[in-house]
Structure 1
């Protein structure tokens, strides 16, 4: 729920409107109580006009705020459209979760609502009632207008910065790093400072031939798994459960996403089968789009989308693709230092009960490299950056991860050999691929890398 609200535009503006209504009702009442007790030094700073002037000021504020709010919404929609069509539709979450945009809309709508709410309390005395001008309330409306103007300037400045592709990629990179550090533990550092194999997690138990298929309750993208609920049902049924679909995978209701089998080897009772089926269906949550709640690969997916879109014939921007690969390289190096592979949940006795599939280095490297390698096969700059990515990853990796890097390196070399490059370009790419082997051997040769 928190993640859903975080990427919506309406919660913060709605809260601003609610607070504005409360202030618009409460401050005029406070005005009525203290208007004869206001200190003289404070009266000089309060609104001192008549009831007609107060109405004019409040009406002008409300009208201008409607115009400015419409402008802000229009600019936001244009930015969303630009990000979706020019870079990647999966970048929209980054913009809708932007606190600058949400706060600016909240300030504008709150000022508009407050001005209208206070306007209804102004009385001219023509209707037989005592004239009333809420001086403090009108002054607050004026201050909110100044704050709105300041927010507008900040919003325009922020928007001009956010629509730059470098800023977008930096935001994606930062969010992805937060997700990695939140979900994955650090691999054990070698004591002597030399590259080491690390301590990979214990291999999960293999499921038997006859298992109980588990299906999701609804179609959509796998966004999260309620580990506590699934673990509880598994212990009650004395079973083992495996969810073999990665976070972010597309699940179809009624098709298996995992399996369960009895720990003792005895067949499940009907009650245990029902318990496991219902628990898995409720614990595995789906949504209409991928999120970074439990999906460590989502940031790489966004960066790869940017690179692939930049390499399309309609855009033809290899420089953006190279920069996206630079961010992907940094993320892969961070991921290589983490415990990848399946997540094993154990009961109080230390026995594995639930196996949740998570991407390993091969999944992540394929995600970051496969599409740029395919769509940028004819661009030496893209191939050179992929070679540098593999070199940087090799330097940050451990020997047990080298086979994955070697497989990607072989694909890169075959792609380079298949292209009709100039001898100079071909020689340069051959040199860069050779330096990947040097990095895996623990050597880093200084030299030109671009």
Structure 2
């Protein structure tokens, strides 16, 4: 087996950002941290007896109003946000987690928790004191202002998540980020095909429950393979469902413990954008398929989703796709990553949508223009697959919509064939009736 092209790494390489598994700070840890900070501030600030002092009763009143007010507003907003999330999932896709995975959600909740802990702790710490430092109510007001700013940002983010244009733009942007990092401009010239990989010494099988491969700690695999003087060839791609007993990797040339390989594979119940180049295509196809369902029947939404898909396909059309190798500092190949090929992107992003749009001339005509533009931009070896799909779309348009003009529908114009004017006969121009006074039962005869 020959090694695939190298994936360049380094501090100035964009691929460095995606080979590390980015595990977001969990909501529980952030809330605990905010609660600890609020507790410390609530104990220390009331003990300050220097500087400007205010009456303790007024400071306690401020703390009570701030705590109760912020808690009420946050409770109301989060209740509305749950409805927004449910609406977006039901109208776009259940796999759309843009809003739920936004860090602003758990940051707002953590700040509110810290503010509540600070208010309660400072109120108890003041106790029977007659005066308190002005820093106590000032800190409460500053934290309240920060919480309101984040709450407003959270509300605007939730409103964006129910607007189609913003959702498609966010999905396309995240997809472009992953594709640009994995398929950089210089990967085509960094071929490693002359390097022959050693023979297989062992295979690694998945020993956990059924999960989705969400991320891979590639840097950890490189260090592990370097110590064992081996090559780890991954057999599954990110986003693949792992079942117990499935082969996930092959070890070549050395001995690597299975536990070290399995530890580098991060399994989740849901797919994430970080290292998954096909997730954006899957989400865009889901939005288009839901729009084409008989219950919704919204072909214009499917056309917008195809526009976003075209932007991603045009980005990778001239790029070198397929598997990638990762080398160590000495230049020896240590890890081979499984990445999707050109056919995989076309199958996920276009095939299902075109198949569901057989009775939608607007979508088929737009897909025809999309395939034609991709053919002009793609490499020579990829035009055969585009030609096959273009011929299929042309056949469906010709067989089911023979009167549909070539190229119509892409701009959102009228898709129906022009109807003849009233009174027109086949092969003759329409004749107009001579104008005269209206006739009917209520028409009176003209006086003599």
Alignment TM-score > 0.5, same fold: yes
- Partners of 1:325 and 1:103 in 2: how far apart? 34
Deviations 1:302-353 (A, max 9, x none): 1111111222222222222111111111011112243210112346775655
Question: Could you say which structure has the larger radius of gyration?
Answer: 2
Shift of 1:119: 1.1
- Partners of 1:78 and 1:205 in 2: how far apart? 55
CA RMSD of superposed structures (Å): 3.3
Task: Judge conservation of contact 1:237–1:276 (CA < 8 Å) in 2.
Answer: no
3-state DSSP of counterpart to 2:270: coil
Cα pair distance change 1:186/1:57, threshold 3 Å = same
- Partners of 1:397 and 1:279 in 2: how far apart? 40
Shift of 1:371: 1.5
Task: Judge conservation of contact 1:20–1:110 (CA < 8 Å) in 2.
Answer: yes
Task: Judge conservation of contact 2:230–2:334 (CA < 8 Å) in 1.
Answer: yes
Deviations 1:169-189 (A, max 9, x none): 11111111111222221158x
Query: Counterpart of 2:141?
Result: 142
Instruction: State which of 20, 28, 31 in structure 1 corresponds to 2:46.
Output: 28
- Partners of 2:339 and 2:79 in 1: how far apart? 40
More deviation, 234-243/99-108 = 234-243
Query: Counterpart of 1:16?
Result: 34
- Partners of 1:119 and 1:5 in 2: how far apart? 34
Query: Counterpart of 1:91?
Result: 96
Q: 5+ unaligned residues in a row in structure 2: which ranges?
A: 1-19, 414-448
Query: Counterpart of 2:248?
Result: 257
Cα pair distance change 1:54/1:388, threshold 3 Å = same
Task: Judge conservation of contact 1:184–1:339 (CA < 8 Å) in 2.
Answer: yes
Shift of 1:14: 4.3
3-state DSSP of counterpart to 2:325: strand
- Partners of 1:384 and 1:409 in 2: how far apart? 10
Instruction: State which of 104, 114, 117 in structure 2 corresponds to 1:110.
Output: 114
- Partners of 1:151 and 1:224 in 2: how far apart? 29
Task: Judge conservation of contact 1:221–1:289 (CA < 8 Å) in 2.
Answer: yes
- Partners of 1:227 and 1:342 in 2: how far apart? 14
Aligned residues: 393
3-state DSSP of counterpart to 1:89: coil
Query: Counterpart of 1:4?
Result: 23
Alignment of 1:323-402 (within 5 A): 323-346=304-327, 352=333, 354-402=335-383
Instruction: State which of 211, 222, 235 in structure 1 corresponds to 2:213.
Output: 222
Question: Which of the pair is proportionally richer in helix?
Answer: 1
Task: Judge conservation of contact 1:309–1:315 (CA < 8 Å) in 2.
Answer: yes
1:247 aligns with 2:238: yes
3-state DSSP of counterpart to 1:428: coil
Task: Judge conservation of contact 1:200–1:339 (CA < 8 Å) in 2.
Answer: no
Shift of 1:68: 1.4
- Partners of 1:277 and 1:146 in 2: how far apart? 51
Instruction: State which of 54, 58, 76 in structure 1 corresponds to 2:81.
Output: 76
Q: 5+ unaligned residues in a row in structure 1: which ranges?
A: 125-129, 189-197, 263-271, 433-446
1:64 aligns with 2:69: yes
Cα pair distance change 1:281/1:144, threshold 3 Å = closer
Cα pair distance change 1:278/1:79, threshold 3 Å = same
Task: Judge conservation of contact 2:327–2:334 (CA < 8 Å) in 1.
Answer: yes
Shift of 1:86: 1.6
- Partners of 1:312 and 1:256 in 2: how far apart? 37
Query: Counterpart of 1:169?
Result: 168
Highest RCO, 1 vs 2 (Cα 8 Å, sep ≥ 6): 2
